[in-house]
């Protein structure tokens, strides 16, 4: 009987431990994650414009690494920055929302950059979130 109680207590402790761990589970560490796919901004936009559903099957929710030419750099009121990477279409870019700790001070339109982040789909632009700068 005592043994049963002990086992029950241990199980309960494990349960609580797992619960606390799950509750506090951190967001995916994108800086350390290996990208599921590597592509260019032009190819990514083209793939989405050709067939959004097929593109989502490949990219949606995945951590991807994207290279391209900077079209614009903007910093919002909350201090986070976004970089627009040019595609062949003037109306569509890859919009990369950077993580708060990323420094864009040295980045200017025309520069070639590579970012890594989570692809969340396409509106006017293909959106890549929580990005870190690779170079």
Partner 1 sequence: MKGKMQFFFVAIAMFLLTAVSADAQKYFTRDGEISFFSDAPLEKIEAVNKKVASVLDGETGAIEFAVLIKSFHFEKALMEEHFNENYLESGKYPKATFTGTIDNISAIDLNTDGEYTAQVSGDMTIHGVTKPVSTTGKLIVSNGTIKATSTFEIAVADYEIKIPKVVKDNIAEIVEIRVAIDYKRLEQ
**Residues at the site binding partner 1, with contacts judged by CB under 8 A:** 22-28, 48-49, 51-53, 56, 60-61, 74, 76, 80, 82, 91, 95, 97, 118, 120-125, 127, 129-130
Residue 93 CA to residue 95 CA, distance in Å, equals: 6
Q: How far is the CB of 125 from partner 1 (least distance, A)?
A: 6
Residue 73 CA to residue 103 CA, distance in Å, equals: 11
Q: Which is nearer to partner 1, 5 or 91 (CB)?
A: 91
| Among 114, 90, 120, 103, residue whose Cα is nearest residue 28 | 120
Q: How far is the CB of 37 from partner 1 (least distance, A)?
A: 16
Residue linked to tokens 């989502």: 56
Q: Which is nearer to partner 1, 27 or 135 (CB)?
A: 27
């Amino acid at each position: 009987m005592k043994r049963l109680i002990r086992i029950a207590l241990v199980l309960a402790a494990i349960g609580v431990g797992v619960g606390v761990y799950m509750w506090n589970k951190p967001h995916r560490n994108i800086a350390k994650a290996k990208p599921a796919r590597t592509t260019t901004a032009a190819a990514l936009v083209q793939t989405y414009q050709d067939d959004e559903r097929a593109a989502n099957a490949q990219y949606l929710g995945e951590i991807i690494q994207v290279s391209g030419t900077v079209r614009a750099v903007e910093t919002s009121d909350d201090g986070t920055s976004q970089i627009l990477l040019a595609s062949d279409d003037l109306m569509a870019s890859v919009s990369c929302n950077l993580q708060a700790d990323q420094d864009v001070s040295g980045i200017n339109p025309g520069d070639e950059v590579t970012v890594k982040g989570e692809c969340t789909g396409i509106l006017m632009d293909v959106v890549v979130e929580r990005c870190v700068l690779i170079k």
